[in-house]
């Protein structure tokens, strides 16, 4: 019988990582998915390694120890946090990426997932129905690191045949984990505050429309692109991915349909400038055509699943 491919998730305690590890383990078995992060969780379930993604030798040792073949490298500083520490953000986001790409170049691992983001776009990008290929002039250190990473993906694929696969994540909204320092975080915080206090003060303007996705859809996309036949992956930099698009006022009124007493106020901060440079909505037809991407959640079903789960925690 063929043995299961061993998987390593780097950055396993973050917003995407925690849900991804859970889903991969349901699919492939606990022992086939090694979780790793820079810190140890209070409660460890399944194989776990403390790992600094900037330590190339440590990654290699863990990969060899567990006979890992697929790596999901999610360790990064997100847009808002990265602006507070640009040099460190650049170092972490780029060095970590190279360390994993080089393991594939050496033939030690054979597939990589690396997340890019809508942050690769910028003020002169067409902001409506943003095409897969268009002007990209990111204005944040996070966006610059993601765009550079995308070019390295293409380079490593063309020069060394590295099988790296990537998605440009929109803002992720889910109830299973908390966001970690992004510009789209308001779309998660709003639900926690709605349930706790019945009101929320948003750090973006009411009409700042951004592409968003339900976290369950994002995790499914991540696993689907990794499991697609190699020849279907025609974009090696990173794929546009869409779920839904809304602005804070639209999200507030979708919440008010279920919680009429919910109140929203606006106090925009530095994150407004970042959000204003990002697309309103994204054209993800390449992902739909190449590996059959299809989101399941829209704004109304997102609001339903978020309120249902946050009102009655498991």
**Piece of the chain touching ligand AKB by CB under 6 A; list 95-103, 117-125, 189-197, 280-288:** 117-125
Q: Check residue 20 for interaction with ligand AKB (CB under 6 A).
A: no
Contacts with ligand AKB in 228-257 (CB under 6 A)?
A: none
**Piece of the chain touching ligand AKB by CB under 6 A; list 62-70, 103-111, 116-124, 238-246:** 116-124
**Short-list 184, 148, 192, 186, CA closest to 166:** 148
Which of the following is catalytic: 142, 156, 239, 297? 142
Smallest separation (angstroms) from ligand AKB to the CB of 84: 13
For ligand AKB, which is the closer residue by CB, 184 or 237?
A: 184
Contacts with ligand AKB in 175-194 (CB under 6 A)?
A: 182-184
Smallest separation (angstroms) from ligand AKB to the CB of 311: 24
Instruction: Name the 3-class secondary structure at 116.
Output: strand
Smallest separation (angstroms) from ligand AKB to the CB of 142: 6
Is the sign of the CA dihedral 57, 58, 59, 64 positive or negative?
positive
Contacts with ligand AKB in 37-96 (CB under 6 A)?
A: 78-79
Smallest separation (angstroms) from ligand AKB to the CB of 33: 23
In DSSP notation, 165-190 reads E-EEE-EEE-SSS---S-TTTHHHHH
Q: Tokens for 228, please give them.
A: 């697609």
Q: Check residue 208 for interaction with ligand AKB (CB under 6 A).
A: no
How big is the site for ligand AKB, counted in residues (CB under 6 A)? Answer: 12
For ligand AKB, which is the closer residue by CB, 69 or 220?
A: 220
**Piece of the chain touching ligand AKB by CB under 6 A; list 27-35, 67-75, 87-95, 115-123:** 115-123
The yes-or-no answer on residue 142 being catalytic is: yes
Asked if residue 295 lies in contact with residue 213, where contact means CB atoms within 8 angstroms, the answer is: yes
Strand ranges (DSSP E) for the chain? 6-10, 33-37, 48-50, 68-73, 111-113, 116-117, 164-165, 167-169, 171-173, 199-202, 210-214, 239-240, 244-246, 263-266
One of 8, 34, 119, 241 touching ligand AKB (CB under 6 A) = 119
Contacts with ligand AKB in 156-175 (CB under 6 A)?
A: 169, 171-172
Strands 164-165 and 171-173 turn out to be unpaired
Smallest separation (angstroms) from ligand AKB to the CB of 20: 15
For ligand AKB, which is the closer residue by CB, 169 or 246?
A: 169
Asked if residue 249 lies in contact with residue 204, where contact means CB atoms within 8 angstroms, the answer is: no
Give Cα separations from 25 to 18, 31, 32, 71, 72 (angstroms): 11, 8, 7, 14, 13
Q: Check residue 219 for interaction with ligand AKB (CB under 6 A).
A: no
Residue nearest to ligand AKB (CB): 182
For ligand AKB, which is the closer residue by CB, 47 or 179?
A: 179
**Short-list 23, 54, 24, 21, CA closest to 35:** 21
Q: Check residue 118 for interaction with ligand AKB (CB under 6 A).
A: yes
State how far the Cα of 96 lies from the Cα of 54, in Å rounded to an integer.
Answer: 5
Q: H helices within 29-128, ranges in order?
A: 56-66, 79-84, 86-105
Binding site for ligand AKB (CB under 6 A): 78-79, 117-119, 142, 169, 171-172, 182-184
Catalytic residue IDs: 142
């Amino acid at each position: 019988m063929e043995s299961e491919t061993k998987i390593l998730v780097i950055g396993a305690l973050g917003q995407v990582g925690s849900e991804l590890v859970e889903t991969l383990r349901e699919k492939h078995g606990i022992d086939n998915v090694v979780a790793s992060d820079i810190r140890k969780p209070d409660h460890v379930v399944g194989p776990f390694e403390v790992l600094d993604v900037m330590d190339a030798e440590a990654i290699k040792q863990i990969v060899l120890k567990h006979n890992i073949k697929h790596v999901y490298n999610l360790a990064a500083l997100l847009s808002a946090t990265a602006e507070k520490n640009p040099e460190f953000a650049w170092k972490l986001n780029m060095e970590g990426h190279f360390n994993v790409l080089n393991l594939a170049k050496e033939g030690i691992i054979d597939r990589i997932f690396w997340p890019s983001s809508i942050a690769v776009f910028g003020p002169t990008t067409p902001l409506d129905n943003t095409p897969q290929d268009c002007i990209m002039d990111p204005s944040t250190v996070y966006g610059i690191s993601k765009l550079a990473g995308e070019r390295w993906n293409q380079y490593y694929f063309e020069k060394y045949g590295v099988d790296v696969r990537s998605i440009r994540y929109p803002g992720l909204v889910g109830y299973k984990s908390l966001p970690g320092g992004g510009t789209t975080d308001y779309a998660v915080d709003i639900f926690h505050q709605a349930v706790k206090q019945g009101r929320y003060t948003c750090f973006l303007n009411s009409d700042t429309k951004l592409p968003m996705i339900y976290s369950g859809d994002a995790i499914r996309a991540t696993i689907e692109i990794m499991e697609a036949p190699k020849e279907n992956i025609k974009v090696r930099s990173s794929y546009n991915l869409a779920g839904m698009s809304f602005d804070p006022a639209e999200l507030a009124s979708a919440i008010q349909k279920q919680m009429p007493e919910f109140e929203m106020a606006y106090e925009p901060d530095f994150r407004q400038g970042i959000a204003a440079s990002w697309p309103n909505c994204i054209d993800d037809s390449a992902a739909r055509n190449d590996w059959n991407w299809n989101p399941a959640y829209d704004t109304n079903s997102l609001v339903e699943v978020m309120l249902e789960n946050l009102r009655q925690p498991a």
